[in-house]
Amino acid sequence: MDDKRLQKIGGLEQRLGWKFSDKRLLDRALTHRSFANENPTLAYGDNERLEFLGDAVLQLIISDMLMRIFPDYAEGRLSKLRSSVVNEQPLAELSRRFSIGEYLLLGKGEEASGGRMKTSLLANSLESIIAAMFLDGGFERSSSAIASIFEPLIRQADADASCQDYKTSLQEFSMLLFKTMPHYNLLSESGPDHDKRFEIGLSIGERFIAKGSGKNKKDAEKMAAKAALEALQENLTEKNG
């Protein structure tokens, strides 16, 4: 690596919050097969072996995090959460947040075809970087750094799953009782851009059932669905009682 390349990948180290003792590990993690094929004298090859290791390291770290963050969740729920985090789409999105595409070494053909923005390539590169961190600093140190990167993703995945659980349960309940789907409508939006508050109303047919509020529309819909479920179940209990 020349000084220009060292300076460039130093920017990625800052974004990741990880200073590599062996810069070659990071450089290899950013080296796509197409670049290695076009540069056969390259000393350390491409990132595919690192990708293989990174997938295993990430599975273990995320599994450990889920066990600690959600001690009461059953195995099935933990598995679903892990699958929602350790898959191509969220890994690529996280890779884009760190602008990893800017640092990749690509062959001419891959560069011309937009490789720096390809979802699969970005996801694989992030797994390679995780492996490089693991090899550079050992499991204990790297797992702490990787956990700090992934915890917001895990929290969001859990919130999305909870939201979907309430909405799915309400949908099933609504179809059973009323033979129609619930509808969500935005009632109000308030607050500055950095601290928005949304209020969502929920109706079934022509009947207004409940409302909910949250910092985004998804959370507000979740709270509306939760309130609607509680109201409908209470009403049903009173009728049967």
For residues 50 and 73, give the distance between their C-alpha atoms in angstroms, rounded to a whole number: 31
What CATH number belongs to 3-154?
A: 1.10.1520.10
Residue 227: closest CA among 203, 206, 205, 195: 203
Domain ranges across the chain: 3-154, 180-240
Chain segment 196-224, per-residue pLDDT in tens? 899 999 999 889 999 999 888 988 998 89
In DSSP terms, 200 is beta-bridged to 186, 212
Chain segment 39-80, per-residue pLDDT in tens? 988 888 899 999 999 999 999 999 999 999 999 999 988 998
Chain segment 113-158, per-residue pLDDT in tens? 999 999 999 999 999 999 999 999 999 999 999 999 999 989 888 8
For residues 68 and 103, give the distance between their C-alpha atoms in angstroms, rounded to a whole number: 34
Residue 204: closest CA among 233, 175, 227, 226: 175
Kindly tell me if the per-residue pLDDT of 178 is higher than 60: yes
What's the whole-number average pLDDT of the chain?
Answer: 90
Indicate the residue type of 139: F
In DSSP terms, 201 is beta-bridged to 185, 211
* CATH 3.30.160.20 fits domain 180-240: yes
For residues 152 and 159, give the distance between their C-alpha atoms in angstroms, rounded to a whole number: 11
Return the active site residues. 55, 127
Residue 241's pLDDT is what?
A: 57
